[in-house]
Amino acid sequence: MKHDPLLSDDPREVGRHLLTARLGEGGMGTVYLGLSPGRRRVAVKVVRADLAADPGFRKRFAREIDSMRRVGGFHTAQVVDASPEEERPWLVTEYIPGPSLHTVHRSTDHCPPGRCAPWR
């Protein structure tokens, strides 16, 4: 999977995690490829500044992190670290290489059996 280089205004560290590349950008923020202090590859999501300024969003983001921790990696990327109270909240999960669900869905007329749960 191809990763884009960091832009000049991208952070180089988030928490204790070193950022090495960009994985993607979406409605909530930017996701980076990073290295944990133990040199494990991780995915680091940094929330957009405008959303970070919204108290309601911050509460929802904190609840999302709590929910992800409770699921504990069962068919999801496990939470490694998070800081929903930072000026720019962030979430670190284990890195799982491969295409995004968006890419898989866009490349076919349907989600192939065995790759995705049925969409209803």
Q: What is the pLDDT of residues 67-94, one digit of tens each?
A: 999 987 677 899 999 999 999 999 999 9
Q: How many CB atoms lie within 10 A of CB 47?
A: 22
Mention every residue, 6+ apart, whose C-beta is less than 8 A from residue 103: none
Q: What is the pLDDT of residues 32-60, one digit of tens each?
A: 999 999 999 999 999 999 999 999 999 99
Domain ranges of the chain: 13-107
Q: In terms of Cα–Cα distance, which of 28, 27, 70 is closest to 46?
A: 28
**Section 20-24 average pLDDT:** 97
Q: Is 72 left (phi over 0), alpha (psi -120 to 50) or beta?
A: left
Q: How many CB atoms lie within 10 A of CB 43?
A: 20
pLDDT at position 109 is 66
CATH hierarchy code of domain 13-107? 3.30.200.20
In angstroms, the Cα distances linking 17 to 22, 76, 111 are 14, 20, 33
